[in-house]
């Protein structure tokens, strides 16, 4: 039997139509799957976001219960409910839609409770979801007599902490009931101490940072850490929950020299580095801490160790042999400029700097602590100096800027407290033998205490008070 060309053409057309329909079906099936997965992922993300909000709400509810009466924070696993417009513990869990929340309360000490808020839900029949938030609450109603803040009576150690591994404490900052310490390696190398009880500091949280930190500045909910990391010289750490600090942003300052000094002023971080034959000063915008961005930079011509900002000027502790103090005009953040300096006797490097108003204090490797009048920033005037005996590693002001605390390498007086109320003749108030070098100090007027960190292996973190 023979087929006509017409029949052959019709057969080809039908086959092509079937193939086309199949291809369209496959495309629509793929598009449908993509849309379904996109919607499902969006749902998963929405569920986790809502669960996080419920977990954080659980902590705030516990805070409200604490504020009403600390004794109401009873140990155990609880649910939460609102009665008479106030949060209260109710049952062993509470349910909102398909989210189940459990609030676990446990005693840390007589005046401290730890609260863990956990929210669970079913993503799918085989995939449960879970979010946890943790914090600690103190009994704010406990009234304790403040320490006698008379440093002239003497200085003694009230509390300390021995961290694992023999890694030195480098720098320390404090805010409220927390002290933040960085050390030269080890795990962890950033530690958050609860210092509400000066006699018995405890670790509230910790973090192992990439590479080794060198310095720290604390502002609000963030700690800003300078680092030896070649692509993260600035690390931004969220400390809003002291129990679980986390790195949320970083900045890569060009070249591979280590960052060493850091200062925060409003929405800007001032970061200084070792000499790289390029820029050693970086001004970084941190209005969005997750995405720090460069505003301006400057080649200082030598390694810079620390920086302090007073008004429209930044003052740098430098290793330049003829400019141990450098003055930078930052009135235009995008184009900072070196406008002045001071050449101190000898070639010893400047290691640390602090200041207030129109006064700058500089610490040197030789042991000199130099006090400058910078009323005219371009031409600093040395008012007086103090001999700390050995290398000065850190300075911190206190007692309404009438005192400066010194961390040094002096063999018998690693900590020194100096009266600078008369800048022309600074005088030692008292000293403390810490057994080994002190690298970092932070004077707290609020606590009437000084937090110090250093190289003593069994007391890397210490608290000194008048006694």
pLDDT score recorded for residue 3: 45
**Prediction pTM value:** 0.72
Burial pattern 142-175, b for ≥16 Cβ within 10 A else e, equals eeeeeeeeebeeebebbbbbebeeebbbbbbbbe
Question: How far apart are the C-alpha atoms of 456 and 387, rounded to whole Å?
Answer: 23
Q: Give the integer Cα–Cα distance in Å for 228 and 246.
A: 18
Query: If we measure between CA atoms, which residue out of 433, 437, 436, 428 comes closest to residue 394?
Result: 437
Q: What is the CA radius of gyration of the chain?
A: 30
Identify the pLDDT of residue 125: 60
Higher pLDDT, residue 136 or 100:
100
Of residues 403, 422, 461, 408, the one with CA closest to residue 149: 403
In angstroms, the CA 373 to CA 380 distance is 6
Average pLDDT of the chain is 89
- Residue linked to tokens 């008369």: 422
Sign of CA dihedral 91, 95, 100, 102: negative
For residue 384, report the phi and psi dihedrals to the nearest 5 degrees: -175, 170
pLDDT at 409 over 90: yes
- Positive or negative torsion for Cα 318, 322, 326, 329: negative
Query: What pLDDT does residue 201 have?
Result: 95
How far is the CA of 464 from the CAs of 198, 202, 461, in angstroms? 9, 16, 10
**Closest C-alpha to 87, from 63, 122, 112:** 63
85 band by pLDDT with thresholds 50, 70 and 90: confident
Higher pLDDT, 249 or 130: 249
Cα separation, 260 vs 303, in Å, equals 9
pLDDT tens column, 349-358: 999 999 999 9
The model's pLDDT over 417-467, given as tens digits with 9 standing for 90+, comes to 999 999 999 999 999 999 899 999 999 999 999 999 999 888 899 999 999
- pLDDT band of residue 112 (cuts 50, 70, 90) is confident
- Gap between the Cα atoms of 461 and 382, Å rounded: 33
- Asked if 233 and 273 touch (Cβ cutoff 8 Å), the reply is yes
CB 311 within 8 A of CB 266: no
What per-residue confidence (pLDDT) applies to 437?
95
Distances (CA, A) of 273 to 60, 168, 250: 41, 21, 16
- In this predicted structure, what is the pLDDT of residue 296? 95
Query: Residue 383's Cα: distance from chain center in Å?
Result: 34
> What is the pLDDT, as a whole number, of residue 1?
45
Selection from 117, 105, 137, 128 nearest residue 54 by Cα: 117
> What six digits make up the tokens of 437?
């070098």
**3-class DSSP state of 59:** helix
| Structure confidence at residue 6 as a pLDDT band (50, 70, 90) | very low
pLDDT of residue 166: 80
Mean pLDDT calculated for residue range 135-140: 81
Give 52-63 pLDDT, tens digit per residue.
Answer: 889 989 998 998
- Domain residue ranges in the chain: 12-138, 151-466
Residue 180: the pLDDT is 98
Q: What is the pLDDT of residues 160-201, one digit of tens each?
A: 999 987 888 999 999 999 999 999 877 899 999 999 999 999
Quick check: 243 pLDDT over 80? Answer: yes
One of 2.60.40.10, 3.40.50.150, 2.130.10.10, 2.40.30.10 is the CATH number of 151-466, namely 2.130.10.10
């Amino acid at each position: 039997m023979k087929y006509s060309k017409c029949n052959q053409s019709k057969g080809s057309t039908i086959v092509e139509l079937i193939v086309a329909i199949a291809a369209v079906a496959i495309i629509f099936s793929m598009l449908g799957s993509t849309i379904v997965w996109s919607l499902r992922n969006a749902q998963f993300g929405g569920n986790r976001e809502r669960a996080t909000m419920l977990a954080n709400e659980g902590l705030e509810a516990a805070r409200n219960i604490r504020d009403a009466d600390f004794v109401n924070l009873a140990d155990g696993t609880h649910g939460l409910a609102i009665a008479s417009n106030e949060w209260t513990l109710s049952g062993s869990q509470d349910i909102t839609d398909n989210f189940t929340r459990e609030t676990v309360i446990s005693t840390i000490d007589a005046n401290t409770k730890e609260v863990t808020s956990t929210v669970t839900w079913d993503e799918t029949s085989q995939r449960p979801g879970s979010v946890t938030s943790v914090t600690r609450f103190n009994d704010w109603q406990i009234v304790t007599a403040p320490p006698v803040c008379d440093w002239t009576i003497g200085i003694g150690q009230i509390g300390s902490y021995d961290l694992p591994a023999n890694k030195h404490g480098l720098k320390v900052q404090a805010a409220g009931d927390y002290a933040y310490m960085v050390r030269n390696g080890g795990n962890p190398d950033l530690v958050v101490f609860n210092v509400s009880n000066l006699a018995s500091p405890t670790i509230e949280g910790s973090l192992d940072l990439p590479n080794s930190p060198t310095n720290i500045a604390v502002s609000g909910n963030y700690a800003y850490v300078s680092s030896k990391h070649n692509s993260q010289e600035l690390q931004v750490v969220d400390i809003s929950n002291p129990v679980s600090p986390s790195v949320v942003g970083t900045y890569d300052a060009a070249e591979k020299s280590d960052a060493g000094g850091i200062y925060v002023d409003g929405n800007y971080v001032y970061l200084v580095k070792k000499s790289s034959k390029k820029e050693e000063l970086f001004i970084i915008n941190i209005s969005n801490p997750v995405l720090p961005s460069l505003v301006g930079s400057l080649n200082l011509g030598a390694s810079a160790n620390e920086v302090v900002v007073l008004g429209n000027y930044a003052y740098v502790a430098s290793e330049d042999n003829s400019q141990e103090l450098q003055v930078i005009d930052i009135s235009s953040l995008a184009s900072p400029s070196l406008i002045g300096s001071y050449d101190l006797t000898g070639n010893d490097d400047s290691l640390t700097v602090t200041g207030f108003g129109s006064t700058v204090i500089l610490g040197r490797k030789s042991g000199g602590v130099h006090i400058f009048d910078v009323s005219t920033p371009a031409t600093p005037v040395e008012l007086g100096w103090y001999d700390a005996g050995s290398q000065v590693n850190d300075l911190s002001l206190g007692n309404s800027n009438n005192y400066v605390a010194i961390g040094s390498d002096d063999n018998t007086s690693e900590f020194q407290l100096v009266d600078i109320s008369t800048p022309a003749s600074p005088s030692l108030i008292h000293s403390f033998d810490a057994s080994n070098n002190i690298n970092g100090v932070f004077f707290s007027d609020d606590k009437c205490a000084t937090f110090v960190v250093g190289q003593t292996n069994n007391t890397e973190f210490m608290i000194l008070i008048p006694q």
